[in-house]
Amino acid sequence: MKTHILVQPYMRGIGEDVINPGSDRQRYQDLLDNLTTQMQFADDNGYYGFCMTEHHLQVEGIETTTNPILWNMHVANHTKHLKVGQVGMCLPAHNPVTLAEDLAMLDHMTKGRLYVGFVRGNTPRWLNTLAQHLNISTSQSDKSEVDMRNRRLFEENFRIIKKLWTEDTINFQGEFWNIPPKDPIEWHFPPTKMWAREGDIDENHIIQRVGIVPKPYQDPHPPIYAPFSWSMDTCRFWAREGGKMVSFVGKNDFIDITIDEYVKEAESVGRQVARNDVLALGGHLVIGRNEKEAKKHKETFENLFNTAYNVPPYKVPMGRLWEGSIQQVIDQVGTLKESYGVDEFVCWHHVGYFPQEEELAMLDAFGEVIKALK
């Protein structure tokens, strides 16, 4: 059994009434220290991976996950075994060439401890700001033109990244990106003339193909994970592309539907997959060492969720909770593992919101679950 920690870093604690704590330098140092301590604890207690979502401009101090790639590097440098990744990087907000390079470099610098994740983006404040040059905004999987444009860019960026990782040099002409650009680049660099692969430049010294440095450390590339809620278009896309989905949906009957759809689509493109290749099941970590503590953690989290998640612009359902006593969560995870053949689980875990000792205690308690279900 592999257990990932999806960290949501907070720069405000329970009950704090403070304006824009995300701008507070000392709070960020405190967050950095607390997160480092917790991930070192996780590294020593059976956890498999650390990951983050991507958000920007979160000055309210909620989910301050600016640049998961740098967080990955920091955690990898302070641990020995934890895999590090993102669930995920928002593809419509990034230049696919530089993102492919950054992730490949991180894969080398961690000696293959990296996994990668990609999402379409659900936060208009920062996605619409970062992707404005491509006329991209957030969407709700409603098949509107805004939604379909976002999805087309997402899929195009992924195809570019995958080609850059797996091919020596590429020429890609798409709806949003032309690599190299359509405007010819005349190139008289002597090393290119001497050592470039045939076809990279033409007889008129115009660049035809380009490649990134480095290729990923892992061959052909790091494992891919992708958050998933309800969209079967997303399910079928990752079935074709070989990404493992991460689901916090709490309805267990939906698991069978998703797995069956994924396996069917994968087989249609010649991919043979097992049921445990499809999903990692996630839950919000509100476990307690006793009934009283578990109840307090759940009530505190529910209040936070109804303040920061089940509200505009997100309006998302809470989904699964890893709740109750250690034995109750052992039973819950064990049943999912046995019923659906799932062998990867994810703990949505806040760092900086609960007191540090309580957050460490939650990790410790779920560590007992990991030991029991090895």
Look up the CATH number of the domain holding residue 13.
3.20.20.30
Q: Which phi-psi region, left, alpha or beta, contains residue 59 (left: φ > 0; alpha: ψ -120 to 50)?
A: alpha
Tens-place pLDDT, residues 253-296: 889 999 999 999 999 999 999 999 999 999 999 999 888 999 99
DSSP 150-162: HHHHHHHHHHHHH
46 token code pair? 């059976």
Strand partners, 323: 286
| Within-domain flag for 322 | yes
Q: How many domains does the chain have?
A: 1
What is the predicted pLDDT for the residue at 138? 87
Token representation of residue 67: 């640049």
| Gap between the Cα atoms of 346 and 47, Å rounded | 10
Residue 275 inside a domain? The answer is yes
Number of neighbouring beta carbons within 10 Å of residue 267: 12
42 token code pair: 């996780």
Q: Which two tokens stand for residue 159?
A: 């195809």
Nearest-CA neighbor of 262 among 244, 241, 239? 239
Rounded distance between C-alpha atoms, residue 271 and residue 238, angstroms: 11
pLDDT averaged over consecutive 10-residue blocks of the chain (374 residues)? 97 97 98 98 98 97 97 98 97 97 98 97 93 87 88 96 98 98 96 95 97 98 92 94 94 90 96 94 95 94 95 89 96 96 96 98 97 94
Question: Residue 347: exposed, middle, or buried by beta-carbon count in 10 A (0-12, 13-18, 19+)?
Answer: buried
Note whether residue 69 is domain-resident: yes
pLDDT at 84: 98
Q: In 68-170, where do the E strands start and end?
A: 83-86, 89-90, 116-119
Distance CA 148, CA 137 (A): 11
| Cis status, amide bond into 220, omega within 30 of 0 | yes
What pLDDT was estimated at residue 229? 84
Spatial distance between the Cα atoms of 37 and 3, rounded to a whole number of angstroms: 18
Residue 201 falls within a domain, yes or no? no
In angstroms, rounded to a whole number, what is the distance separating the alpha carbons of residues 285 and 288? 9
The residues pairing with 284 across neighbouring beta strands, listed in sequence order, are 321, 348
What residue has token string 């650390």? 50
Q: Alpha-carbon distance 373 to 270, whole Å?
A: 33
Predicted pLDDT at 251:
86
pLDDT at 252: 87
Cβ atoms of 272 and 306 within 8 Å: the answer is: no
Enter the tokens of residue 296.
């307090």
C-alpha angle 345-349-350 in degrees, rounded to nearest 5:
170
**198 found inside a domain:** no
| Alpha carbons 321 and 300: distance in angstroms, whole number | 13
Domain-embedded: residue 112: yes
For 331, the token pair is 């039973």
3 state SS of 322: strand
* Residue among 250, 278, 257, 293 at smallest CA distance from 344: 278
Is 77 a domain residue? yes
CB-CB contact of 248 with 319 (8 Å): yes
| Domain extent for 288 | 2-182+210-372
In a domain, 71, yes or no: yes
Contacts (Cβ under 8 Å, ≥6 apart) of 344: 1, 2, 3, 4, 48, 244, 276, 279, 280, 281
Quote the pLDDT of residue 245. 96
For the record, the structure tokens of 1 come out as 């059994």
